[in-house]
Structure 1
Amino acid sequence: MTTVFEVRDLSLGYPNKVLFEHLSFDIQAGRTLAVLGANGSGKSTFVKMMLNLMKPLSGGLNWPAGRPREIGYLAQMAEFDSRFPIRVRDLAAMGAWGGFGMRRRLDRAAQDRVSAALAEAGVLSIADQPIHTLSGGQLQRTLFARVIMQNAPLILLDEPFAAVDQSTEAHLLAIIDRWRNEGRAVVLVVHDLSSVLDHCTDALLLGGGRATHGAVDDVLTPENLIGQKYMSESQASWMFRSAASTTPEGAEHV
């Protein structure tokens, strides 16, 4: 399987605070990495480092096949100004500017691509609506349509399910599953342990000055979650006891 990028001996933080040190792992095509941690553990900082928006303290990324010309990126909702005077279809079309250019009118084929992306995201019916009229879920669907238009081999999503309902979350997770099945690599920053993790192949847990990477079930253990200050002992005890109680009799606990 093709390696999209390699993290090598990465130390990340700021002059007065080290978030973690000496992290190494690979991300391959067709894998989805969940990045978790308490507030301030370095989740968004890790994404910014991947986008080359900040420099690591040491180490960094290797791109075996070269850095992709296009990286799909969806920032946290709080970083997006929904007052910008633009329609839903125009916001989605912005994802294609790398291929079409800002000043060039989209031809019919490009317009059809925009409509297809809006349809997949579930917002084609409001394509001509200004974005300041959208609900949080509608805006996030539109931003997903913009990422679809980027058609990138690597996709970075920073807390994409904040302030959306369960129906929207399920719809967007189906898009993420399609990306993975197409052989794209997805890095997904999530705030809490949820059904989102059922759609991820790998996990990176940050916190307590450490970074732990591996398969989801191997990383998200009570010992790691407590030791890396993601949750208290009582929270971990309750969560894993509840999970065990819902496992059907005779089924294997994972």
Structure 2
Amino acid sequence: MTPVELAATGGHAVAEHLETSPFAVRGLTVSYGGEPAVFSVDMTVPKGAMLAIIGPNGAGKSTLLKAALGVIPKVSGRVTVHGAPLEDQRRRIAYVPQRASVDWDFPTRVIDVVLMGLYRDLGLLGRLRADHRARAQACLARVGMEDFADRQIGQLSGGQQQRVFLARALAQQADLYLLDEPFAGVDAATEKAIIAVLKALKDEGRTVVCVHHDLSTVRDYFSHVFLMNRTRIAEGTVAEAFTEATLQAAYGGRLATAQIDRLAAV
């Protein structure tokens, strides 16, 4: 069995039973205009993992995540959260979309954006209490944005907006965090702040899944990887699945051999 075939069996990730996996996808297919953007993907995220979904541009990384969550339609596939259908477990999930997909001109304050993360607790007509506002303020403090609570969201920089959306996710107090390219277009200070929060969530026993594009930070940031190019290439721990063979299989000629060798080096 080749290294790619070994990694594609899933390593420790596939050994994780569906009943205990916080996020498992089976046979997910998404089609745009008759062409498959994601084809028959299986993915099993181990509990407590910090996992990066990686692959070349156009590989279907964001499509996979959005289709799994029901944000966009899928042709086929099944998604479970802790062994139960995703639809029954949404309270356990916090999702941070790509910043580019958000209407930042919407006239709302930073604190109000974070309070939106509490809607499941409040219900449609629920009344905000002092403890809700304190919880939202604490989440802003955790991402270094406590002094911006009354600022209009459109007045913030891109990095600051991303921190606010992470604070909103934190307010949900989920045990599964799904983030679509959280580091895209942010400054170095924001990236450092975000990764510190995500690692703290992992240390608390939460599970974190990120669509990620910067291969140079994979070893420093993540415990597990899922490599794809429209279909699954490999999954497992970074040591198992982030290798020269799997990177070559996923990226092919899009990465120079020297670059792959450097990225895969332990």
Q: State the TM-score, normalized to the length of structure 1.
A: 0.85
- Deviation per residue, 1:177-236 (Å, 9 max, x gap): 121122222110011213254222211111165432112232222222222226535x23
- The worse-fitting range, judged by mean Cα deviation, of 146-155 and 188-197 is 188-197
CA distance in 2, matches of 1:103, 1:197: 45
Q: Higher helix proportion, which one?
A: 2
CA distance in 1, matches of 2:104, 2:141: 21
Alignment-mate amino acid for residue 259 of structure 2: W
Change (3 A) 1:116 1:219: same
Provide the residue aligned with 2:250 in structure 1. 228
Provide the residue aligned with 1:53 in structure 2. 71
Alignment-mate amino acid for residue 186 of structure 1: V
> For 1:29, what is the secondary structure of its paired residue?
coil
Question: What are the within-5 Å matches in structure 2 for residues 85-234 of structure 1?
Answer: 85-207=107-229, 209-229=231-251, 232=254
The answer to whether the 8 A contact 2:28-2:42 is kept is: no
The answer to whether the 8 A contact 1:73-1:157 is kept is: yes
Change (3 A) 1:54 1:88: closer
State the 1:25 CA deviation: 4.0
Gaps in structure 1 of 5+ consecutive residues:
245-252
CA distance in 2, matches of 1:238, 1:119: 38
Alignment-mate amino acid for residue 140 of structure 2: L
State the 1:26 CA deviation: 2.4
State the 1:19 CA deviation: 4.2
1:35 aligns with 2:57: no
The answer to whether the 8 A contact 1:23-1:211 is kept is: no
CA distance in 1, matches of 2:231, 2:140: 41
Provide the residue aligned with 2:29 in structure 1. 12
The answer to whether the 8 A contact 1:136-1:163 is kept is: yes
1:78 aligned to 95, 100, 108, which one? 100
CA distance in 2, matches of 1:143, 1:231: 36
- Deviation per residue, 1:88-113 (Å, 9 max, x gap): 11111111111113443311111110
> For 1:3, what is the secondary structure of its paired residue?
coil
How many equivalent residue pairs? 243
Change (3 A) 1:59 1:209: closer
- Deviation per residue, 1:95-138 (Å, 9 max, x gap): 11111134433111111101100100111011111111101111
- Deviation per residue, 1:231-252 (Å, 9 max, x gap): 535x2313534x69xxxxxxxx
- Deviation per residue, 1:162-191 (Å, 9 max, x gap): 111111111111111121122222110011
> For 2:105, what is the secondary structure of its paired residue?
coil
- The worse-fitting range, judged by mean Cα deviation, of 14-23 and 146-155 is 14-23
Provide the residue aligned with 2:5 in structure 1. none
Gaps in structure 2 of 5+ consecutive residues:
1-15
The answer to whether the 8 A contact 2:23-2:45 is kept is: yes
Change (3 A) 1:62 1:138: closer
Change (3 A) 1:108 1:19: same
> For 2:163, what is the secondary structure of its paired residue?
helix
Moved over 6 A (4+): none
Percent identity between the two aligned chains: 36
